[in-house]
Structure 1
Amino acid sequence: MTDSAATEAPKPSNWNLPNALTTLRIVLVPFFGWALLYDGGESATSRIIAWVIFAVAMITDKIDGDLARARNLVTDFGKIADPIADKAMTGMALIALSIVGDIWWWVTIVVLLREWSVTLLRLSVLRKVVIAAKDLGKLKTTVQALALGGLTLPWLDSDVPASLELPFQVVFYVFQACLAVAVGLTLWSGFEFYKELWKQRDQLR
């Protein structure tokens, strides 16, 4: 046995806290979808519950990544499950919000095509090349989460007091503007990903 093999650190177990948090996010997806779509999206209480679930998912996404890197708990399972959990939650948000009429379907289709094509390609080349998430992609994720989380809340609920109708409508359209920015960042970061993948094409052969 060589010295390098003898001193090589053992791989971390898949049974760790970051992976548990990632699994929790996947489990939360159907509950989030049910809460958002309950009563056709007309239940203010259910939409607030959906927002809480979404917020928990986004917070644990940040926590599990930081924990995995800080404690050297990055695993093959985590590398695969983490992006799947992210895309499943944001995908559910986009589809559900389109169903209730708060997001145009073309926006959902464009974003999902970009997100899943990049995720599947990233996973397919994981063992050959590593394309790290760039600042633009991280900014896209933040703005997208802010927009989708905001649009989950019942700003246009019919039971809102008259004095709050206009302010709530303004907030709703502010989050719509955030979503428009997120779509732009999504398309641009997707272009950057494909450009980087093309640069490393020789390693894929």
Structure 2
Amino acid sequence: MAIPRQLPNAITVARIPLAVVFFVLLVLGGTYGLGNPTMRWTAGVLFIVAISTDWVDGYLARRYDIVSDFGKLWDPIADKLLTGAGFLGLAILAEVNWWIVVIILVREWGITIHRLMISREHVVAAAWMGKLKTAVQGVALGWALLPLHTFIGIPAWTLVTAVLMVVVLVLTVASGIDYIVAQVRGARSGS
């Protein structure tokens, strides 16, 4: 079965407006227990659907051998917009500490800016550690965004969320260091 060559890229691009809609729903839905539960559930489900498309577009591109430089560049950007909106929204709602969000966003956007700066020379595809980081961010954010406290109680939900955010923070910093080390090695071997 043939698929349109641009389908993976179209899926990637679709995550960008989904990030905006998700963010608005999250903030309007409000914090757990105090906001609009329907909007909060909708925001959480929309995030999970949107972040799941990251796997779908990558699978399609590899399966049908239609990997493109556009996809290699814009797929991580779309992921960062979506996850960044999640982290930012949770910080605005005071459900995740700002210092954690700031460290994560500085790492995410610092590397994204670097990727954009060197994109004329070559496109840097995400490394395995970056892919693992994105997957764990998706799971942690999915957990934190869904108002699951209604089923397990606020103390348990808060504890699990805090542990997941620390794991995300460690992986985000470690994958950032891995990216920098790989770029320095590549620069040395290229000169």
Structure 1 runs not aligned, ≥5 long: 1-13
- Once residues 176 and 84 of structure 2 are traced to their aligned partners in structure 1, the CA distance between those partners, rounded to angstroms, is 16
2:158 match: 172
Alignment of 1:1-80 (within 5 A): 16-41=6-31, 42-80=35-73
Q: State the percentage of identical aligned residues.
A: 38
Are 2:7 and 2:57, in contact at CA under 8 Å, matched by a contact in 1? yes
Structural RMSD (CA): 2.2
- Once residues 82 and 138 of structure 1 are traced to their aligned partners in structure 2, the CA distance between those partners, rounded to angstroms, is 11
Q: Quick check: 75-84 or 47-56, which moved more?
A: 75-84
TM-score by length of 1: 0.81
Match of 1:102, SS? coil
TM-score by length of 2: 0.86
Structure 2 runs not aligned, ≥5 long: none
Match of 1:101, SS? coil
1:9 match: none
Q: What is the aligned residue count?
A: 185
Match of 2:30, SS? helix
Match of 1:114 among 89, 107, 119: 107
| 4+ residue runs over 6 A deviation | none
* 1:101-139 C-alpha deviation (Å, 9 max, x unpaired): 101111111101101111221233345456543332222
- Once residues 54 and 194 of structure 1 are traced to their aligned partners in structure 2, the CA distance between those partners, rounded to angstroms, is 29
1:11 match: none
- Once residues 126 and 75 of structure 1 are traced to their aligned partners in structure 2, the CA distance between those partners, rounded to angstroms, is 13
Rg larger in 1 or in 2? 1
